[in-house]
Structure 1
Amino acid sequence: MRFSPLITDLYELTMLAGYLEEGMHETPAVFDLFYRQNPFKGGYAVFAGLDTALTYLENLAFDKEEIAYLKGLNLFRPRFLEFLRDFRFRGRITAPAEGTVVFGNEPLLTVEGNLAEAQFVETALLNIINFQTLIATKAARIAHAAGNAKVIEFGLRRAQGPDGGSSVARAAYIGGVRSTSNVMAGMQYDIPVKGTHAHSWIMAFPDELTAFRAYADVFPDSSILLVDTYDTLKSGMVNAITVAGELRAKGHELVGVRLDSGDLAYLSRQARRMLDEAGFTEAKIVASNEVDEYVIESILSEGGKVDIYGVGTKLATGMGDGGGALGGVYKLVRIGAEPKLKVTSDIAKATLPDRKKLLRALSEDGSCIMDIIALADEKIEIGRKVYNPVNPLQFTHIPTGVRLTELRTVAMEEGKRTGSSSTLDQLADRCRQQLACLPQGCLRFINPHTYKVSISSGIHDLRLRLMEELQQA
């Protein structure tokens, strides 16, 4: 799959042209992609989008039509346009595996290469990683709220365009929502596709019972009937139960009913009672209509009887308090042999310089204790002092009795993948396993526990030294 290199901001091209004119384009450079605050005011994020990003990088090239378009802008010199003909990404990518639980200020992708290639890919990588990580995180929250109930991704019609719709289905699967209504995503990513019918199906027939019978006749072994077109309990459920009896008489079973409006907790309780009393104890209840983790939590707290949640708008758009977008950024951390630091009046926004490694401290039973960001070649020992990345006066020590494991590996070298892609099931299983190892407080939706992320003394000291040098300059 090819992504056009014109999926970028204009300033990436103007900087690229400038580096070429200044003779800087081949200077070695290192960039980090990271975010500062967990989305949805939550306790974590789920890293996603790496495979898509690697596909973009592997196939990065300008074709004749794209170069002709840039020429027509009358902005770039002929030498630069000629340079683009052979432009490729030939660098290195270091990253966690998709489905890894991550936190603010941690380097997700580290991009190494010459300045031209490492700078140019900024916009596309942010676009891919920010969106898919946001959606995977939202899906993980929704799946956690649903507990033993299943969740279907219903968000295509509200997603950010056709490409966004497919990215939603993929990222949501990683986060734990393992089916979709999006048929294209089903084919593209081998995701199970699920669906029912619309209110318009009911309205197209003379009456509701006739509509239900017609649908059940066409799909006798996969019918889920939408029961809220007119009156959920007095009409929809009564007619659905009638059709369920007719199906059973023919050797088939009604799969379930779908509620798409009203008080979902109350209606699901009543629907469950009616189905059970009629002898259809295995029929499922599907609930949709602006569902998210908070709605699911409310339904369960009120004794709702929902088996499957259809989640659309709020998943596909990353809607929610503190949601809407992941604030991922892309910062230069080394150029040539010099570590680089972006510093502002706000220490919380000062970047972490130089090449780094990301370590996770695990207890004997595999529970996550803390993460440590350290210099790439720094030796980290148990018991060592580590610092708060946003407050250099706060420090703690790596606790005894833990083991340290590196969270990232080299995923691309010289512009080529270093390994084969994992299946979506493997990525989703990793996400589920990692969430189970987090402190339970991290999974809360309101005032979650703040997982400790620290920086090593090496990064701490280097950052303070660079700040002092900048101030003196």
Structure 2
Amino acid sequence: MIPSALLTDLYQLTMMQGYFASGLHTQTAVFDMFFRKLPYQGGYAVWAGLEELLETLETLRFTEDELAYLDTLGLFRPDFLAALRDWRFSGQINAFAEGRVVFAHEPLLTLTAPLWEAQLIETMLLNTLNFQTLVATKAARCVLAAAASPHGGEVIEFGTRRAQGPDGALSAARAAFVGGATGSSNVQAGQRFGLPLTGTHAHAWVESFPDELSAFRAYARVYPDSTTLLLDTVDTLNSGLPNALTVARELRRSGHELRGVRLDSGDLAYLSRTVRAALDGAGFPDVKIVASNDLSEGVIAAIIAEGGRVDVYGVGTQLVTAGGTGGGALGGVYKLAQLDGRPRMKLTGDPVKSSLPGVKRVWRAQAEDKTFGWDVLTLGEAPQAGQLVTDPTNPLRSARLPATLTWEDARQTVMAGGGRTQPAGTLPEIQARAHCELARLPAETRRLLNPHVYRVSLGVDVSGLRDSVSAGLRAELK
């Protein structure tokens, strides 16, 4: 569903009217979207939500009902409301392709548009990109944790019932797939996004029958080729496991195979080892073990470290709510960088919260081993070997670029004149891009705990412009 034009904060509309009344609304504005701190105390983020944003911007309109509602607020002049009737997004967007890895202090997206257009979409843009990038990053961390098992492991999204409302559930399912989840339990997400669907049964199914074995047999009769049995309604090892083995033998005798068993409580490392041994010993090595119960990347890593034998991790609450240390919200912001050709910046009393003026390009370096090595912001040309670059948060921290790096323009024009510049990427394509991008990060940057900080630096032209604009603003205060 395309969001309404009213999915915005009131002050966006009041500012739009102010620009309109002052004759400023057609000035060409350049805004950057960026974040200042990586989530989860991690080393990277996975950029997600861009394709949905572009789809929204192509068709965004004010309907007659929406304009009538705005009129009831008593804030807006008739001529402004009349102008909104013909409002369309006509701007240009340069951005990282969805699925790429991104870092703090670099513009992930740069939007160039008439000022009132750029102002209206700020809230919607941040709402879409902040949440989906956060969930995609969480999913990628869970997937990388699961992949560390010598026996392999995959992640599925299981969190609809704990998500932040229906829209949050759908966005989370989509973003989790971008981050590497192989499927979702959310049927609407399957229909809308083409995601693979997966599921087992609830404890209530077992409780609805005279005994656990009857419940297992009934489920297997209905779904003989896709049965995954939940083992812990009564007793995982003393009831659920032996009953599941009985049903597995019965399915095999009738020409079918048990697909899996699910563990939803208890010591998942110990239980999965024990269940794996029993399944293998009984001649069912291909039956998958699914684990759920408030999983996160840390829990997955602990299960693997303790010798757990889980094949599929159903990650729910922690994934769809983007929970965990350093989670909850990405903190992406949208700041004016240029207006009618004049650089603009937020100076503020907190240097960390200052923004970077000017229209910038983001260059990404590839090291000799093909891994990503450095990102540098410039106002134009690619960085050169030997150039001095500085840290965005500490001008005194500088370094010279080595000659061993190969540079690429990390972003592309994805929208011009209010329309896409290329066909929309499919979710499998975006997921594959994220997988390749993560593989090209240095291993030290990917790790869950105390990752190496990937370097993002300012070229001398960007830092020089920042110093110049900052000095001008300070001079005005004297």
With structure 1 as the length reference, what TM-score do the two structures score? Answer: 0.99
2:132 alignment counterpart:
132
What letter corresponds to residue 210 of structure 1 in structure 2? S
Alignment partner of 1:61: what SS?
coil
Q: How does 1:52-451 map to 2 (within 5 A)?
A: 52-147=52-147, 148-375=152-379, 377-378=380-381, 380-451=383-454
Gaps of 5+ in 2: none
Q: Deviations over 1:333-385 (max 9, x none)?
A: 0001210010122222111111111000111331111100111x345322211
In 2, distance between residues paired with 1:449 and 1:379?
25
2:460 alignment counterpart:
457
Q: Match for 1:466 among 439, 445, 469? A: 469
Q: Deviations over 1:109-164 (max 9, x none)?
A: 11101100011110000000001100110000000000020111101111122121
In 1, distance between residues paired with 2:341 and 2:29?
9
Alignment partner of 1:330: what SS?
strand
What letter corresponds to residue 176 of structure 2 in structure 1? A
In 1, distance between residues paired with 2:470 and 2:235?
67
Aligned residues: 472
In 1, distance between residues paired with 2:212 and 2:462?
67
Alignment partner of 1:213: what SS?
helix
In 2, distance between residues paired with 1:365 and 1:322?
31
What letter corresponds to residue 221 of structure 1 in structure 2? D
Q: Does 1:5 align with 2:5?
A: yes
CA contact (8 A) 1:31 1:112 kept: yes
What letter corresponds to residue 306 of structure 1 in structure 2? V
What letter corresponds to residue 45 of structure 1 in structure 2? A
CA contact (8 A) 1:257 1:286 kept: yes
Deviation at 1:450, TM superposition (A): 0.5
In 1, distance between residues paired with 2:268 and 2:24?
61
With structure 2 as the length reference, what TM-score do the two structures score? Answer: 0.97
Q: Deviations over 1:445-466 (max 9, x none)?
A: 2211101000110010110111
RMSD: 0.9
CA contact (8 A) 1:48 1:133 kept: yes
CA contact (8 A) 1:3 1:59 kept: no
In 2, distance between residues paired with 1:19 and 1:81?
13
Alignment partner of 2:338: what SS?
strand
Q: Deviations over 1:256-287 (max 9, x none)?
A: 10000011001101111111121111111000
Alignment partner of 1:228: what SS?
coil
In 2, distance between residues paired with 1:322 and 1:13?
32
Deviation at 1:317, TM superposition (A): 0.5
Deviation at 1:433, TM superposition (A): 1.1
CA contact (8 A) 2:6 2:66 kept: yes
Moved over 3 A (4+): none
Identity %: 53
What letter corresponds to residue 122 of structure 1 in structure 2? E
In 1, distance between residues paired with 2:175 and 2:385?
35
Alignment partner of 1:247: what SS?
helix
1:46 alignment counterpart:
46
Q: How does 1:11-22 map to 2 (within 5 A)?
A: 11-22=11-22
